[in-house]
Amino acid sequence: MPLLRVDNVGRSFGRLDAVSDVTFEQSKGEILGLIGPNGAGKSTLVNLLSGLDDGRKGRIWFDDEEITRTRAYARARKGIARTFQLVKLIAGLPVLGNVMSGRHRLGSINLIKIAAGLRSVGVEEQEFAAHARDKLDLVGLSHIDSSADCDTLSYGQQRLVEIARALASEPALLLLDEPAAGLNTEEARQLQALIRRIRDEGTTVLLVEHNMRLVEAVCDRCVVLHLGRKIADGPFATIAQDPQVRQAYLGQGR
């Protein structure tokens, strides 16, 4: 049984079909690459999968439950987390607070409990903080000052904080939207190891990425989009030899 099933999903903006009749499945524990040239519809598809865009075309199943009309917050509660093409951290919250915010769906704190001064509120916050530190350690940021503002971090570190925040929700599926964008060679190499570690710890990963070295190194399979349509699906070594993929994206000399 696949963890994620996408059936003829589409999204149009006026007369433009950003995503058109895309169908694929992803197994639990699989690192799936979603690749294609700029404008292929990759980020639009991620928005459809995460619920930020309802699309109104096709159907989506997650863990054998249809989520086609499920809101983004409800999909997060079901175990779908994501990062963004452009880093989106919460201004005004320190590093630790940003990561803790990702665990909100698993908490029981509310305004009534806070107003009542219940001891359980403080206990839960301590648990959240400890869990957030574990995720910072997982992504390789245990050495930074977690009380610092995120603006003091490098761009690569901010990307890792965003990944740690997504992992704080303990997702079954993590959608990574171009996590290597803006990273240097060494940071991209470390990201490669991190994605494998995330999968090995039990989280299935869907990776949108232009760094083909990274895709080739970590992905078990790739789905290739071009002009909103799926043009190939298979292991990287196979799709890299596909004439249609080479012409549309990888280039004849790849």
The least confident of 5-19, 119-133, 216-230 is 119-133
Structural domain includes residue 68? no
Exposed/middle/buried for residue 200 (C-beta within 10 Å: 0-12, 13-18, 19+):
exposed
Q: What is the tens place of the pLDDT at every residue in 53-103?
A: 987 799 999 999 999 999 999 999 999 999 998 898 988 889 998 998 887
Assigned token pair, 113: 């409990």
Structural domain includes residue 99? yes
Structural domain includes residue 137? yes
Mean pLDDT over each residue of the chain, to the nearest integer = 88
- pLDDT bucket at 252, cuts 50 / 70 / 90: low
Helix (H) or strand (E) holding 244: helix 243-245
The one-letter amino acid code at 162 reads E
Structural domain includes residue 43? no
In angstroms, rounded to a whole number, what is the distance separating the alpha carbons of residues 247 and 253? Answer: 10
Span 143-148, average pLDDT: 89
pLDDT at residue 135, as a whole number = 94
Assigned token pair, 44: 């639009």
Structural domain includes residue 124? yes
Res. 115: pLDDT tops 60: no
- The domain total for the chain is 1
Q: What pTM was computed for the model?
A: 0.89
Residue 172 CA from chain centroid, whole number: 11
Q: What percent of the chain has pLDDT over 70?
A: 89
Q: What is the tens place of the pLDDT at every residue in 181-224?
A: 989 899 999 999 999 999 999 999 999 999 999 999 999 999 99
Structural domain includes residue 100? yes
DSSP one-letter string for 180-199 = TTT--HHHHHHHHHHHHHHH
Domain coverage including residue 143: 91-154
Instruction: Provide the 8-state DSSP code for 106.
Output: G
Q: How many CA atoms lie within 13 A of 226 on its CB side?
A: 11
